[in-house]
């Protein structure tokens, strides 16, 4: 069990590095492990300033994870309009939003029971 958590922690680290590398903002990690019937263990949520920026964040995450951990996402959804792109790494699901779409869907509010950690970024 600890090995799996260590691998998940490495994945989260690489995802965060990928987001920060292209200046993604408002990064938040939701720990869903103590909530029943969840689809994954963690959500990582962030936003970009435009559809181009959202796509750049997604590409940077995939590059960071692929290069460092040799992992590819199980599924990627939403690339067509790049307002909300979901990257599914099974245990960790990444949501990359444009700000107005993130505010509209309010995933943090929907998963209010989850433990939440905001990642401070320096821009």
CATH number of domain containing 12 = 3.30.460.10
Q: What is the pLDDT of residue 21?
A: 97
Whether 89 contacts 70, CB under 8 Å: no
Q: What is the pLDDT of residue 120?
A: 85
Q: Is 61 helix (H, G, I), strand (E, B) or coil?
A: helix
Domain extent for 36 = 2-119
Kindly state the percentage of the chain with pLDDT values over 90.
92
Q: What is the pLDDT of residue 2?
A: 74
Number of domains into which the chain is organized: 1
Q: Is the predicted pLDDT of residue 122 greater than 70, yes or no?
A: no
Sequence-distant (6+) residues with CB within 8 A of 17 are 64
Q: What is the pLDDT of residue 121?
A: 74
Which helix (H) or strand (E) element contains residue 121?
none
């Amino acid at each position: 069990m600890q090995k799996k958590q260590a691998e998940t922690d490495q994945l989260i680290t690489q995802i965060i590095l990928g987001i920060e590398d292209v200046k993604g903002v408002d990064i938040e990690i939701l720990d869903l492990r103590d909530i029943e019937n969840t689809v994954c263990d963690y959500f990582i949520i962030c936003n970009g300033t435009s559809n181009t920026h959202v796509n750049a964040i997604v590409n940077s995450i995939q590059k960071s994870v692929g290069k460092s951990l040799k992992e590819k996402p199980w599924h990627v959804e939403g690339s067509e309009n790049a307002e909300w792109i979901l990257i599914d790494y099974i245990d960790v699901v990444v949501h990359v939003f444009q700000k107005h779409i993130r505010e509209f869907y309010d995933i943090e509010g929907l998963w209010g029971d989850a433990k939440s950690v905001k990642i401070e970024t320096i821009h």
